[in-house]
Structure 1
Amino acid sequence: MSELKEIIIYTDGACKGNPGVGGWGALLVSGNYTKEIFGGEVLTTNNRMELMAVIEALQTLKQASRVLVYADSQYVLKGINEWLANWKKRNWRTSDNKPVKNVDLWQRLDALASQHEVQWIWVKGHAGHAGNERADELANKGVEQLLTQ
């Protein structure tokens, strides 16, 4: 069996107004290879863009990998590490029996993450972390792309 390739992913989402025009961005690094991706939606929320950044990054991977995901979103990290298992047990309901917000994206993220060995790492946003700063720039590029169309 071959060793899993290690991929480092930095993600971020942005929203001008919440809800409003939003963007997501991700920087993927494997050895000396880097790839930058970004996009956006006309009417969305910051949380949806944070999720989309991770989803789009994981979707680009062509094979099972060991992945380090760096994100500044407590929503994404708590969701994946703390809330997801119980949401699934409760058929995508919260502890107070309300439907999980952004369930469509959580289900996509869950399916994609299960294909890899993922370690989730929180980084403080806007604190000078180079990978996070670049992901933020890419997310804002996603917003700008929509605003200039």
Structure 2
Amino acid sequence: MKEIQVYTDGSCLGNPGPGGWAALLQYQQKRKLISGAEPDTTNNRMELTAVIRALGLLKQACRIELYTDSKYVMDGATQWMINWKQKNWMKTKSEPVKNVDLWQSLDQAMQPHQIQWYWVKGHSGHPENELVDDEARKQAEKIKS
């Protein structure tokens, strides 16, 4: 099973507002940076999109070290999602999970892989996190212009 490192970040200029996402996938000495943008979105949606798009590139099951500065994404994927699924994607009887479309996509994208999640403090000098942060922000700024 291939061992891959994935670094993700999302950015939003206003919340909601124009947003960008970026992910860096690293396998051995090979690196691939992917990114994109949406005109009217939220930071949380961009954080989720970065992870979904990165996992979507993988053509086979992998062992993944996934680095994010979003506790929302990491805690959602590692702690909250199991309960949301048991409750049919509801937080309470009357409150549906926000961004359920993306959480369901993330759930599907995660299935074939063994993922070890790591939280990285944003803007703390972590080189790969800074790279995806810069790219996500650039993507959001392109849309704003």
Relative to the length of structure 2, the TM-score reads: 0.97
Choose which of 47, 63, 66 in structure 2 pairs with 1:66: 63
Could you tell me how far 1:137 is from its partner in structure 2? Answer: 1.1
Residue 11 (structure 1) aligns with: 8
Letter in 2 for 1:45: T
Choose which of 108, 112, 134 in structure 2 pairs with 1:111: 108
Residue 49 (structure 2) aligns with: 52
Residues 38 and 141 in structure 1, CA contact (< 8 A), matched pair in contact too: no
CA offsets, 1:98-136, max 9 Å, x none? 000000000000001011111111000000001100110
Rounded Cα–Cα distance in structure 2 between residues aligned with 1:52 and 1:96: 27
Residues 20 and 139 in structure 2, CA contact (< 8 A), matched pair in contact too: yes
Aligned length: 145
Residue 38 (structure 1) aligns with: 35
Residue 88 (structure 1) aligns with: 85
Choose which of 111, 116, 121 in structure 1 pairs with 2:118: 121
Could you tell me how far 1:97 is from its partner in structure 2? Answer: 3.6
Residue 19 (structure 2) aligns with: 22
Rounded Cα–Cα distance in structure 2 between residues aligned with 1:140 and 1:44: 13
Moved over 2 A (4+): none
CA offsets, 1:31-77, max 9 Å, x none? 01000000010000000000000001001111111011100001001
Structure 2 stretches lacking a partner, 5+ long: none
Letter in 1 for 2:63: R
Aligned to 1:18, what secondary structure does the other structure show? coil
- RMSD between aligned residues: 1.0
Residues 18 and 141 in structure 2, CA contact (< 8 A), matched pair in contact too: no
